[in-house]
Amino acid sequence: METSQAPQAPACVPIMTIERFSELTGLSPDTIRGQLQQGNLPLYKVGRRRMVNVALLTTECLNGEELA
């Protein structure tokens, strides 16, 4: 089995790249970008990169807040 040379972030990090979030959720990167653009997933910008704010998503889920 081939292993990736890229560092692997665990699922409990506060922000995550679109590609890593895609791997963990099974959604395509294009779907995730669309959901970020529509405001359905919390966005965090690092420089010019858009990342998924996993900490805020987790908090909203635990508080029962609707994302849509």
pLDDT tens digits for range 9-58? 555 679 999 999 999 999 999 999 999 999 999 999 989 999 999 999 98
Contacts of 20 (CB under 8 A, 6+ apart): 8, 9
The Cα–Cα gap between 61 and 45 comes to 21
Give the up-direction half-sphere exposure of residue 66: CA atoms within 13 A in the CB hemisphere: 1
Question: Rounded to 10 degrees, what is the CA torsion of 4, 7, 11, 68?
Answer: -80
The Cα–Cα gap between 16 and 2 comes to 23
Is residue 7 predicted with pLDDT exceeding 90?
A: no
pLDDT at 63: 86
